[in-house]
Amino acid sequence: MIGADGIRSSVRSELFGHINPIYRGYTVWRGVAGYEGSALFESANSETWGAGKRFGILNVGPQRFVWYAAVSVPCDHVVGPDGRKRDLLETFKGWHEPIIDLIAATPDNEIMKHGAYDLVPLRRWGHGRVMLLGDAAHPCTPNLGQGGGMALEDAAVLAKCIAQNTDLEAALRQYENQRRHRTKHIQRRSRLMGEIAQWESRTIVTGRRMVTRLLPARLFERNLRRVYSYRI
What is the model's pLDDT at position 86?
A: 96
Confidence of residue 207 (pLDDT cuts 50, 70, 90): very high
Report the relative pairing of strands 130-132 and 45-49 from DSSP bridges. Answer: unpaired
221: number of Cβ within 10 Å:
9
**Per-residue pLDDT tens digits for 168-181:** 999 999 999 999 99
Confidence of residue 30 (pLDDT cuts 50, 70, 90): very high
**Per-residue pLDDT tens digits for 136-165:** 999 999 999 899 999 999 999 999 999 999
Side chain identity, residue 52: G
For residues 130 and 139, what is the distance between their CA atoms, to the nearest angstrom? 18
For residues 116 and 157, what is the distance between their CA atoms, to the nearest angstrom? 27
24 Cβ contact list (under 8 Å, min separation 6):
116, 117, 118, 141, 191, 194, 195
For residues 102 and 85, what is the distance between their CA atoms, to the nearest angstrom? 10
Query: Domains in the chain, please, with CATH?
Result: 2-20+123-199 (3.50.50.60), 22-117 (3.30.9.30)
At 177, which helix (H) or strand (E)? helix 168-197
Mean of pLDDT over the chain: 94
